[in-house]
A and B are shown apart, each in its own frame.
Chain A
């Protein structure tokens, strides 16, 4: 258990100093090897096939050579200078996490049913469904733990909440990767595509993004009390996605021609970094409002000690927006670049585009209110909450109520 806790909190010798530095450069070398293979290896780069190529002997060779070169560089250059390893210490846990996710996915592929039993028409026997179920359980349990933590700050439920949230992230991430793999098992590999093509898949992605952003803020700012506001939002999403799966929206389906582009793999996930960050900002806003109310009615309430301070919550909301706003801007711009390639123009005033603009204006105004007018506190807390409602409409509402070019996420 302690080993597990160490892994999740990413401390210990593996994550510090020279060891982290060497590992980081090994990873960077590996990534360079991947890029090298895409550019120079025989056969050339073919979209999704490339991912399978990575796990072949050839891929292992390229990545291994890159890793060795990176390690060599790290060993020859690293000086025991003050703060020399800070960059590596920040980067390493992230890459560790990604590798753990890929490894989990690799293990899960062993549990796939026999090839003869895999059919397009009945996808219920695919293993990713079970991993998603596990994610749902982890995330719901985590939400309960975080809420309980508000009332029992001394007990272990807080830690348990953090750990199950991480477990949910790994389950969700590896389930998505597994779905990617599974999409190639169906119909002879004809319909293989990245798992960001429909509402069900992006919901799983959204949970992971919200959790990762929140958990990072939690560990950096010791703000575990915020979890009681973030995780219920995730839990609500979990129920929605369970409903989606129950009406048959969870199946892997072929991509319509408009989505068959590498842009999908960039535009969609980046958008969800934005949405996820805005969700965390909303949670911080709600926490601010609740704390404010408790403070005015009962300044000595015991529960206040669990909450981050008003100032800290204000900061956390801003930090989330500072993560989300640039990501959302970039995602919208890349979406425009895709539109210029697929729809005949970078901007068509499609409902989804227009609502993305509205979301952008809302958070742009938030930032102006904060910096140009020096607004803080209550107004901004409400702003973060209402801004997220606009975001939710942009994400789900537009698909449900308005028709337009972004009809892929529609409920049918």
Chain B
């Protein structure tokens, strides 16, 4: 069999030795750097694109894309734990022994090397001893007699070695807590649409997505966003109800810094998105009839136009679009452009593009500039180009007016401005028989703008958002962390230990008292393991205090005494 002393002890000693610990710490630091430089847990295809197949597969085999959870990273942390444990096991008995062991005497040769010392001769031995003890209150005294010589040893901050012990055991406790978190806890995300219920979280494990069923259901009663007047969001708030077997257990609001706690699971507000809003669009047909079709759809669904090959894929809905309207360099001017819907439009012979359609017309300087549409040819929201359609599509009359104008405007390249104007007047009296609208001049300009842009549209209709019923989903993060409290306990011990280590000095004083010819001969020596400047002061104070009491020096205390006696 293996004996402890021959087999395990040397291994523990080696593992707990400083070079091994430093090697492990360096490995940990280097690995951590890799993990910060290489973005973790991204999309696998993005990695493949970034690194090419060779490096991608190498990195993937090493687990570098989810490095902090690989076996080898865990092994480093595990070995560090063992190393710490071995170090503690080896050193704690020694430290405890050193703390207990207080040598009462001090050899002359040792005293010679010490910086803080003085000699005194006083009349009364007992009074001298009590004076010293009084001037160093809270010190721990020990008396011993060697022959005729009385030795006093005083200690302050004797527990400072507990600093080392507690710091290192605290680290071990924190690592154990971390291990417990990983082993027995979970952390994953769920998306709950408003009025919907969800009970499963998803999380990344290596390169694949795993699912875990919660012992309860989460229902999102409401989700809302508040904004600062700059348009930046100020608060994301979800009202959640926890259900168990269909029974409502609790209802609570959560915001970003205030999670919900239920049966050991914390529920955090993490993200949000569209939870399948209902949208209504008006399709203004670009045919002879020029009729308007109302179509209903839902975000994440597809609408297929029965009259053409065109389809709309609804992707996102936004109730607000707060944009900076100021020109570059001018003071910012934030304005809400109103609700919008994003969809991809596809069809035979059409290039699929992403469109953002706004419900409200664009108002600038209190003047209606007509409806706005944004088109991204690449399908990326960053490449949107904005087009003003001229007409205000939220007002069906304007579409009528436009159609009337198109019918009446002479289809002749030689037509004069006057002809156009006449056509416009005729269209006006047809659509507005009861009288002209107010901003007539602007309306005329907008109809002309529409005449320029609308015929250029490749689609068989102009799609404009007309109504909506918004529905968010709230993105929640659910986490159970049974190791967390262990980590906090470890952290508290760590900070306490560091304070002891750095700020508590172990100060020692030896006093050799020898009675010679009725007088007490004192040799005082002091030593501190840190903060020599503060100790020097303290030691100096001790000397002054004794001298003051004995009237050896004309200190202020001495004068006072004289006054009193007079």
Interface residues of A (CB under 8 A from B): 82-83, 119-122, 187, 190-191, 220-221, 253-254, 256-258, 260-261, 263, 322, 325-326, 329-330, 333, 336-337, 340-347, 349, 351, 354-355, 357-358, 361-362, 364-365, 368, 372-373, 398, 402-404
Contacts and interface: CB of A to CB of B under 8 A. Distances in A.
Contacts of B255: 257
B173 to A, nearest CB: 13
Nearest to B66: A349
B135 interface: yes
A347 B178 contact: yes
Contacts of B37: 402
B191 interface: no
Interface in B236-257: 236, 255-257
B495 A361 contact: no
A216 to B, nearest CB: 13
A402 B38 CA distance: 9
Interface string B217-237: 000000000001110111110
B533 A326 contact: no
B466 interface: no
Given A82-B135, A344-B187, A345-B481, A351 B541 contact: no
A344 B495 contact: no
Contact of A365 (B22, B32, B256, B545): B22
A381 to B, nearest CB: 19
A190 B235 CA distance: 12
Given A121-B331, A330-B495, A333-B494, A354 B257 contact: no
B257 A329 contact: no
A254 B234 CA distance: 8
Nearest to A255: B234
- Which size class do B's interface residues fall under? 35 or more
Contact of B257 (A341, A346, A349): A341
B266 interface: yes
29 contacts: A82-B541, A82-B544, A120-B230, A122-B331, A187-B229, A190-B228, A253-B230, A253-B232, A254-B232, A256-B232, A256-B233, A257-B233, A257-B236, A258-B257, A263-B257, A325-B498, A326-B499, A329-B498, A330-B495, A336-B487, A336-B491, A340-B484, A344-B479, A346-B181, A346-B481, A346-B487, A349-B35, A357-B32, A372-B18
Nearest to A401: B37
A322 B235 CA distance: 40
Interface of B: 18, 22, 25, 28-29, 32-33, 35-37, 39-40, 68, 135, 178, 181, 187, 228-230, 232-236, 255-259, 266, 268, 270, 331-333, 477-479, 481, 484, 487-488, 491, 494-495, 498-499, 502-503, 533, 541, 544-545, 548, 557
B399 to A, nearest CB: 38
A346 B36 contact: no
Contacts of B32: 349, 354-355, 357-358
A82 B545 contact: yes
A349 B494 contact: no
A337 B39 contact: no
A175 B545 CA distance: 46
A221 B533 contact: yes
Contact of A373 (B18, B29, B181): B18
A344 B178 CA distance: 14
Nearest to B19: A373
Contacts of A349: 32, 35, 40, 68
Contact of A254 (B228, B270, B545, B557): B228
Contacts of B331: 119, 121-122
A236 to B, nearest CB: 25
A325 B229 contact: no
Nearest to B476: A344
Given A83-B541, A344-B268, A349-B68, A333 B187 contact: no
A257 B502 CA distance: 37
The 7 closest A-B pairs by CB, nearest first: A121-B331, A351-B36, A257-B256, A344-B477, A261-B257, A326-B498, A333-B491
B313 to A, nearest CB: 30
Given A340-B481, A341-B258, 6 more contacts: A122-B331, A257-B257, A326-B495, A351-B36, A354-B35, A404-B36
B533 A220 contact: yes
Contact of B36 (A120, A191, A347, A355): A355
Most buried by B among A336, A345, A368: A345
Given A258-B256, A341-B257, A373-B18, A361 B229 contact: no
Nearest to A121: B331
A347 B487 CA distance: 11
A154 B229 CA distance: 58
Contacts of B495: 326, 329-330, 333
Nearest to B330: A121
Contacts of A326: 495, 498-499, 502
Nearest to B494: A329
A120 to B, nearest CB: 7
Contacts of B68: 349
Contacts of B557: 82
Most buried by A among B178, B256, B479, B503: B256
A364 B231 CA distance: 44
